[in-house]
Amino acid sequence: MKKKKQLLLALASLILLSGVYGLTQLLSKPEELNQEIPAAPRESYILSEVSEEELKSVTIENTMGAYTLILGEQGIEVKGASGIILDQQAAAGLTYALMNLRSSELIEKDSSDLDRYGLTNPRGLLTLEKRDGSKTIVKVGNSNPSKSGFYSLREGERSVYLLSSYLATSLLNSMDLLRDRTLPPVNFQELKRLTISSERTIDIVPYFPYEVLSSTLSPLVMVKPYRRPVAVNTQTYSKSMEALAQNYRIVSFYPDDTDKDTGLNDQAAEIYMLDSTGNEVNIQVGNKSAEGDYFCRVSHVAGIVTLPSEALTLINVSPLEMSDRFMRLIGIDSVKEVRVDTPTESWVGGILFLDDETGVFTFQGESVEEDPFKKMYQEILYLLFEGEIPGDFTPSGPAQFTVTYTGNDQTPGKTTAECYEYDQDYYAVSIDGYPPEFLIGKYQIESLLNYLRDFKG
């Protein structure tokens, strides 16, 4: 309120001072009254004037090529190129501007030397064809010294006008600037299948029961490349899919016969997505362009395009990185017994839940407190794979370490992880009799064994 009063006072003072000044001027110069003469509006020269009802097509020819825009049933289309999808807003804006070209400056009337303006062999040519067959043709030549515009004229005339750079460059640019840069729709949050084919193939689907005791909290399962399904690392998956979703757009376009080294051959990586509504998108990923984007072929998109490299981090994620890496992740609510065995030692933990909040826990047949038992159970759960076995591996001796989970009455069944000698640093792990595919560091096993040996409950 205070500021408002100050502003009103200042305004009143300004008006008062202005009035005094004006009165002084009137008294000192009664015979004169200065009046400004309004500037005359700049003359406008018509280069094209075609109504939407009259227009049949717009053809643009320049050093980038030639194309014709027509008004189709689904909007503005490129004649003879049904696979090319235009940004309708951009195409409509350009079409309307070209239908009503105006210049505010006449450079030379009835010029005798059009070559000096670059209009003998113009850089750009606009043809507006009407439905009655008549045509309006505008030529665009060189830019003026200040680069503020380009010399232009109507075909059949010799008067040269200056066309603004903004309008002229729209005639000199590639059609690609009008193309729709959105990619085919897909719901990244509801994928029924994601297949990444790079050095190896990763195939991810929504979780389905594939074992007696579920060993994952992940809603996704990787069914390739491993023999046995593996839970997906939701953090790695989400980060990669978020990068794809945020950068899911076309950067640039290239013809199929481009001379660029695109790398789009039989060995190129691919990403396939199928969502819950049936939308399918396949992206073939080749080499990087000079700008750092990937050359790609995308289903339902004509020609070759580039996509941001940030969008395609999926092709560089290894199967191990995409897996959750837990040797066994069995929820304690599903288990009545967990057992750890070596060739010379054994430990058994028992679990009996009386209700949702109360349970009885034993270790080596003796009752133990809930918190220490759960801490011990957690130590067993957090055994993590550290690598893959390159090629096939057949154990040559007995298991050196085994973890067995036995389900309770609500989730009956049994699952076992067995560790076999691989080399001096690692064990090879077999789950429920599947051939070993993963390695776990011996230091993890030894640390757990020491914990069990010292466990007091």
The DSSP line for 10-79 is: HHHHHHHHHHHHHHHHHHH-TT----PPPPPPPP-EES----TTTEEEEEEEETTEEEEEEEETTEEEET
Say which amino acid occupies 271: I
Tell me the pLDDT of the chain (457 aa) as tens digits: 333 333 333 333 333 333 333 323 333 444 443 455 555 456 789 999 999 999 999 999 999 999 999 987 789 999 988 788 999 999 999 999 999 999 989 999 999 999 999 999 999 999 999 999 999 999 999 999 999 999 999 999 999 999 999 999 989 999 999 999 999 999 999 999 999 999 999 999 999 988 877 777 899 999 999 999 999 999 999 999 999 999 999 999 999 999 999 999 999 999 999 999 999 999 999 999 999 999 999 999 989 999 999 999 999 999 999 999 999 999 999 999 999 999 999 999 999 988 877 889 999 999 999 999 999 999 999 999 999 999 899 999 999 999 999 999 999 999 999 999 999 999 999 999 999 999 999 999 999 999 999 998 7
Task: Compute the distance between CA of residue 284 and CA of residue 414 in angstroms, rounded to an integer.
Answer: 43
Distance between CA atoms of 246 and 183, rounded to whole angstroms?
Answer: 12
Task: Return the domain boundaries, the chain.
Answer: 45-178, 188-322, 332-454
Distances (CA, A) of 410 to 309, 336, 355, 433: 48, 10, 13, 24
CATH 3.30.450 fits 332-454, yes or no: no
Instruction: Region of 354 please: left (phi>0), alpha (psi -120 to 50) or beta.
Output: alpha
d(C-alpha 131, C-alpha 363), whole Å: 91
- The single residue listed with the structure tokens 């038992």 is 373
Q: Is 387 exposed, middle or buried (0-12, 13-18, 19+ CB in 10 A)?
A: middle
C-alpha span between 378 and 381 (Å, rounded): 5
Instruction: Read off the DSSP letter of residue 386.
Output: -
Helix, strand, coil in percent for the chain, rounding step 5: 25, 35, 40
Characterise 399 by phi-psi region: left (phi > 0), alpha (psi -120 to 50), beta (else). beta
* Cα 361 to Cα 457: distance, rounded to the nearest angstrom: 10
The rounded Cα 20 to chain-centroid distance in angstroms is 66
Count of all residues that appear for the chain in the document: 457
**Amino acid identity at 438:** F
**Residue/partner pairs of 372-376 with CB below 8 Å, 24 or more apart:** 372/455, 372/456, 372/457, 373/349, 373/457, 374/332, 376/349, 376/451, 376/452, 376/455, 376/457
What's the CA gap between 345 and 339, in Å, rounded? 11
Stated as kind and residue range, the H or E segment containing 374 is: helix 370-381
How far is 176 from 180, CA to CA, in rounded Å? Answer: 9
pLDDT at site 5: 35
**Residue 175 three-state SS:** helix
| Torsion angles phi and psi, residue 89, rounded to 5 | -65, -45
Q: How far is CA 436 from CA 79, 199, 421, in A?
A: 59, 21, 11
User: What gap in Å lies between CA 170 and CA 50, rounded to an integer?
Assistant: 18
Torsion over CA: 331, 376, 343, 320 (sign): positive
Rg of the chain taking only CA atoms, in angstroms: 38
Distance CA 211, CA 414 (A): 10
